[in-house]
Amino acid sequence: MRRLLITGGAGFIGVNFVYYWLKEHPDDRVVVLDALTYAGNRESVREAERNPHFQFVHGNILNQPLVEQLLRDEQLDTIVHFAAESHVDRSITGPDAFIETNIVGTHSLLKAARQIWLEERKGAGPFRFHHVSTDEVYGTLGRGDAPFCEDTPYAPNSPYAASKASSDHLVRAYHETYGLPVSISNCSNNYGPFQFPEKLIPLTIINALHNKPLPIYGDGKQIRDWLYVRDHCRGIAMVMDAEQTGECFNIGGINEWENIDIVTLICDLLDERFAKNPALASRFPLATKLHAGKSRDLITFIKDRPGHDRRYAIDPTKAQKVLGYEPDETFASGIRKTLDWYLDNEPWWRPLLDAGYSEWIARQYN
């Protein structure tokens, strides 16, 4: 039995991990610590809150005394650290929050874990600090380059990527210097339920439903390696169970797509859904063009993201060989599930639009 602290558990991947874990390990204790920034959503964890093994704590990872108290009082033996500022565009317009949460916040958590697990409990574990990181720390690839592997040198290009790289180094240093039992996973782009609609896939779906432009940065030929979020959660669970501590694992989908092709695919799938289900037209009356199978007309090329990485791709060999990890979901099924989730869960995303996300998006593109 494990007793987990999940930071950022009201965000996209964190909440998917919460539901994954509660299902797979129904007897474990799960405590979520989340500051509920614009990207955190208490509604996402409502169902989990009905489970007596689950506890939601509204708080900041920078609050070291709070984290120490949780580790001590709840006797937590595992930290799964998702909490972060995660959107590259926001890191370009306002990097400070990224430094504060991703670097200083991660360090604060490490200090708390060291204090409680190594000092107070004298290392009488097993304990595990699992740090959730990104492939963006490796920088960018050309079309013919070999995918990122665990010993690809770090070369982060955005303030977001640099802040994640810095946090990875701190986690590693706490293992080497103090013997904190850590693991790190560096994953490629996730998609699936509960993703905040500023990221490419949910933004495209929701803008199309409102007959709004679908913004494509630059020429749209940048490549990302997409992984269904549940497969990321499974991968994290496998890394957390790896016997050897201090190890990093890359997790990816072996599923490279140009941005323009992803957006075009979503347009076509939406057209198909509207053609088959006339009730959708009355639920989303602004999506007029979708009836005529013309949502591709909404695609709008706009100025490129500064420092935009051209290609990400993961070499999953280590995770395959050491952990036996393979993604379960195909992209064909995962993208349809995701689309249907957004169509079926308007009450989840509608308040986010009303709370100002669209104003932020509009400022960004004008």
Interface contacts to ligand NAD, rule CB under 6 A: 7-8, 10-14, 33-37, 39-40, 60-62, 82-84, 86, 101, 105, 132, 134, 164, 187, 189-190, 196
**Minimum CB–partner distance for residue 289 and ligand NAD (Å):** 29
Q: Does the N-terminal peptide bond of residue 347 adopt cis geometry, omega within 30 degrees of 0?
A: no
Residues in the chain, overall count: 366
For residue 136, state whether it binds ligand DAU (rule: CB under 6 A).
yes
**Minimum CB–partner distance for residue 51 and ligand DAU (Å):** 27
The catalytic position among 77, 136, 256, 271 is: 136
For residue 131, state whether it binds ligand DAU (rule: CB under 6 A).
no
* Nearest-angstrom CA–CA distance, 67 and 76: 10
Cβ distance to ligand NAD smaller for residue 134 or 358 = 134
Cβ distance to ligand NAD smaller for residue 188 or 295 = 188
For residue 87, state whether it binds ligand DAU (rule: CB under 6 A).
yes
Q: Check if 154 is active-site.
A: no
For residue 222, state whether it binds ligand DAU (rule: CB under 6 A).
yes
Residue 178 binding target from ligand DAU, ligand NAD, none, CB below 5 to 8 Å by type? none
β-sheet bridge partners, residue 193: none
The helix/strand/coil state of 92 is helix
Radius of gyration of the chain (CA): 20
The catalytic position among 19, 20, 160, 191 is: 160
Transcribe 12-70 into DSSP letters: HHHHHHHHHHHHH-TTSEEEEEE---TT--GGGGTTGGGSTTEEEEE--TT-HHHHHHH
**Minimum CB–partner distance for residue 264 and ligand DAU (Å):** 12
Among 5, 80, 98, 135, binds ligand DAU (CB under 6 A): 135
Q: Which residue is nearest to ligand NAD, using beta carbons?
A: 11
Task: Let me know: does 67 contact 107? Beta carbons within 8 Å.
Answer: no
Q: Which residue in the block uniquely carries the two structure tokens 């190594």?
A: 118
Residue 12 binding target from ligand DAU, ligand NAD, none, CB below 5 to 8 Å by type? ligand NAD
Q: Check if 73 is active-site.
A: no
Closest to 185 in 3D by CA, of 236, 138, 148: 236
**Minimum CB–partner distance for residue 342 and ligand NAD (Å):** 15
Closest to 305 in 3D by CA, of 363, 365, 362: 365
* Nearest-angstrom CA–CA distance, 334 and 347: 21
Q: Which stretch binds ligand DAU (CB under 6 A): 84-92, 113-121, 267-275, 325-333?
A: 84-92
Q: Check if 138 is active-site.
A: no
The catalytic position among 135, 225, 256, 271 is: 135
Mention every residue, 6+ apart, whose C-beta is less than 8 A from residue 208.
Answer: 214, 266, 267, 270, 287, 290, 295, 298
Residue 259 binding target from ligand NAD, ligand DAU, none, CB below 5 to 8 Å by type? ligand DAU
**Minimum CB–partner distance for residue 332 and ligand DAU (Å):** 19
Cβ distance to ligand NAD smaller for residue 57 or 281 = 57
Task: Count CB neighbours of 351 within 10 A.
Answer: 12
Residue 335: which H helix or E strand, with range?
Answer: helix 331-344
What does the binding site for ligand DAU look like in residue numbers (CB under 6 A)? 86-88, 134-136, 188-189, 199-200, 203, 215-217, 222, 224, 259, 305, 312
Residues labelled catalytic: 135-136, 160
